[in-house]
Amino acid sequence: MSDDEILGKAYDARLMRRLLTHLRPYWRQVAVALAAILVGSGAALAQPYLVKLAIDDHVATRRLEGLDQLALVYVAVLVVAFAAEYVQTWTLQLTGQRIMFDLRMAVYGHLQRLDLRYYDRNPVGRLMTRVTSDVDVLNDLFTSGVVTIVGDALTLAGIMAVMVWMDWRLAIVAFSVLPLIVLVTQWFRRNVRESYRVVRGWIAKINAFLQENITGMSTVQLFRREALNFARFDDIDRKYRDANIESIFYYAVFYPAIEVTSALATALIIWYGGFSVMRDTLTFGALVAFLQYSQRFFRPISDMSEKFNVLQSAMASSERMFGLLDEPVAIQSPRSPRVRPPTGLGHIAFEHVWFAYRPPTPGTPDEGVEWVLRDVSFDVRPGQRIGIVGATGSGKTTIINLLLRFYDVQKGRITIDGVDLRELDLQEVRSLFSLVLQDVHLFSGTIADNMRLGEQAIDDERVRRAAEAVYAHAFIESMGQGYGSAVAERGSTLSVGQKQLLSFARALAFDRRILVLDEATSSVDTDTEVLIQDALEVLMQGRTTIAIAHRLSTIQDMDQILVLHKGVLRERGSHQELLAQRGIYFRLFELQYRHQSHVTSLKS
């Protein structure tokens, strides 16, 4: 069962208390709504009684005098009822919207603090559900749940009290249908609860399916998976529809059943009340009032069983949402961060670093842990250029993930200017680096927006100079609106090389001290490659550089090259030194060189 299918209790005191804390800032509005509900219930109770008075005191006795006033009072009560309902609806909805806003902000704020390990575990679709539909369900709780249930309960109690007060025997006759109501309601709640769980499960599956297949549409179309995926979706969609239809069945039975029971109560009242009227133990007006009260009695009952469902799903949603909010932030700034020595220019050192994506559980032996990095030590002096090479999966990107503190090391430490990364302020650490990734992430917005990412200090002039420096200016100018041209979602309208240049321009505009590059494995055409090489040269000027490269040609001039093999740093030195060692690097170089000349000879 997935998270989305779990339905907890309809009422969980712990969750409820926590939900109510979100209601607390709006206690005034809630108080107003409660007052409105009280007034509204009072008005609802008064109406049948006024009818009784009219009939017994005026119609039956043919006394006209005072009837006008009574009618006026009735109208006044109606107006009050209208006003009360208006105030209640408005304040509750308003409060509900505000609470939803608060909750969405809280969830999003927390999402931004959570570390990458959390995102490794949780699919995007699920997290989006937390911010959107789970919060919406809670709105139902606040607007039609908690507060109005109080109103319903009050109305019910009030009606019962008035009925017993007017004629307890007739009241007992009318209430004799209650066991039937209880049975029907129980049956309904049990089944609807289950079918609701099934419906939620299927909607979660639909979301997951859509998310994956819309994102991967080009792969779907390329491999001609349309028919297959259509059939799969057909299957899920059908089950979703059937689950919905099943829940409709329960509603379709429940409401008429309540109607019939209520009609039964009416029949009983007419039957027994009719006798009472003839035997003069009940006034005719009281009979009419009784009929009206019993009508008003059954609506809250069916309402309440619906609200019970709201309560239930809200509890489940809040459980999931609070689960997210309670997710500990594994990577954060220390309470009192240390400051780097003012003379520090960003000297990076890895000291016997061990790291695994699935960390060893404390207290258990280390065997069986899949170490991605083993005892890695190296250092990068300010201004130095370091290249990292190694086979796919050897741990190159991981080194960068650790350096930027997206993950924390398990053994050893990483220092900047002699201070452990974990003791520094997180913002400060990250603002030392410019990161250019294999996969350039662009946001929807304009080209210029994507270069400054909301940083006020980067003005148009700086944007343009950065773009010019890395040779991105030409292609940007050729785009309809230049720097104001819109970038589609994920930058899908730009070529890989263009995105790469854009990310260089972004890095340059931010002008950070240390440049970190994770080279694209996808190859670009030779012209663009030369362009990117040149741009890179500009970018590296005056900066400490750590560059991961697949094409050895890009890093030959580096001060030092690190060769990573299955998480172990096997060789280090300059290009010439490493060639002389005739080890892994030498073999890599030979392979690429031979491949290169092979390709060249094919081309010519």
Ligand X SMILES: Nc1ncnc2c1ncn2[C@@H]1O[C@H](COP(=O)(O)OP(=O)(O)OP(=O)(O)O)[C@@H](O)[C@H]1O
Summarize as ranges the residues that interact with ligand X (CB under 6 A).
120, 357, 372, 390, 392-398
Closer to Mg ion by Cβ: residue 393 or 542: 393
Determine the Cα–Cα distance for residues 382 and 403; give it in Å rounded to an integer. Answer: 15
CA gap 451, 453 in Å, rounded? 6
- Min dist CB 474 to ligand X, Å, is 30
By C-beta, is 12 or 327 nearer to ligand X?
A: 327
CB atoms near residue 206 (< 10 Å) = 15
Nearer to ligand X, 347 or 405 (CB): 405
- The neighbour count for residue 541, using CB atoms within 10 Å, is 11
> What's the closest the beta carbon of residue 380 comes to Mg ion, in angstroms?
18
Nearer to ligand X, 197 or 396 (CB): 396
| 333 versus 397: smaller Cβ distance to Mg ion | 397
Q: Give the nearer residue to ligand X in terms of CB position, either 282 or 517.
A: 517
Q: How far is the CB of 518 from Mg ion (least distance, A)?
A: 6
Minimum CB separation of residue 585 from ligand X in Å reads 15
Q: Which residues contact 282 (CB under 8 A, 6 or more apart)?
A: 167, 170, 273, 276
The helix-helix angle for 13-23 and 284-326 (nearest 10°) equals: 90
395 binds, among Mg ion, ligand X, none (CB under 5 to 8 A by kind): ligand X
By beta-carbon proximity to Mg ion, the closer residue of 397 and 574 is 397
Transcribe 108-131 into DSSP letters. HHHHHHS-HHHHHHS-HHHHHHHH
Q: Does 397 bind Mg ion (CB under 5 A)?
A: yes
604 binds, among ligand X, Mg ion, none (CB under 5 to 8 A by kind): none
Q: Is the dihedral of CA 418, 421, 423, 424 positive or negative?
A: positive
Count CA atoms closer than 13 A to 289's CA, side-chain side.
Answer: 29
Nearer to ligand X, 367 or 370 (CB): 370
Q: Which stretch binds Mg ion (CB under 5 A): 4-12, 396-404, 539-547, 557-565?
A: 396-404
| Identity of the residue, 397 or 556, whose beta carbon is nearer to Mg ion in the bound complex | 397
Question: What kind and span of H or E run contains 518?
Answer: strand 514-518
Question: Is residue 401 a contact point for Mg ion (CB under 5 A)?
Answer: no
Task: Return the number of the residue (310 or 372) whose C-beta is nearest ligand X.
Answer: 372
What value does the CA radius of gyration of the chain take, rounded to a whole number of Å?
36
Q: Are 184 and 275 in contact (CB under 8 A)?
A: no
What is the C-alpha separation between 485 and 473, in angstroms, rounded?
13
Shortest reach from residue 327's CB to ligand X, in Å: 17
Phi, psi of 549 (to 5 degrees): -135, 145
Query: Which residue in 604, 475, 487, 598 sits closest to 531, CA to CA?
Result: 475
The span from the CA of 50 to the CA of 281, in Å, is 20
Q: How far is it, in rounded angstroms, from Cα 288 to Cα 270?
A: 9
Angle, alpha carbons 542-543-546 (nearest 5°) = 145
Q: Which is nearer to Mg ion, 397 or 485 (CB)?
A: 397
372 binds, among Mg ion, ligand X, none (CB under 5 to 8 A by kind): ligand X
The rounded distance, in Å, linking the Cα atoms of 108 and 437 is 25
Report, in Å, the least distance between residue 392 CB and ligand X. 4
CB neighbour list of residue 241: distance below 8 Å, 6 or more residues apart: none
State the nearest-atom distance from the C-beta of 400 to ligand X, in Å.
8
534 touches 339 (CB < 8 A): no
Least distance from Mg ion to the Cβ atom of residue 106, Å: 34
**Toward ligand X, which CB reaches closer, 120 or 590?**
120
| Structural contact between residues 438 and 521, judged by C-beta atoms closer than 8 angstroms | yes
Select 334 or 393, whichever has its Cβ closest to ligand X.
393
Q: Which stretch binds Mg ion (CB under 5 A): 16-24, 70-78, 309-317, 395-403?
A: 395-403
Amino acid (1-letter code) at residue 330 = A
**Cβ of residue 25: shortest distance to Mg ion, in angstroms?**
46
Which tokens belong to 512?
Answer: 């950070």
Sign, CA dihedral 580-581-587-592, equals negative
Q: Which amino acid appears at position 207 of this protein?
A: N
**Is 296 within 8 Å of 44 (Cβ atoms)?**
yes
Closest distance of CB 396 from Mg ion, Å: 5
- Tell the smallest beta-carbon distance from residue 378 to ligand X (Å): 15
Instruction: Output the DSSP codes for 415-470.
Output: EETTEEGGGB-HHHHHTTEEEE-SS----SEEHHHHHHTT-TT--HHHHHHHHHHT
Partner touching 392 among Mg ion, ligand X, none, CB below 5 to 8 Å by kind: ligand X
Entry field: residues in the chain = 604
Q: How far apart are CA 287 and CA 285, in angstroms?
A: 5
Taking CB positions, which residue lies at the least distance from Mg ion?
397
From 40-48, 383-391, 394-402, 407-415, span contacting Mg ion (CB under 5 A): 394-402
Q: Token digits for 9?
A: 């209790």
User: Which residues form the interface with Mg ion (CB under 5 A)?
Assistant: 397
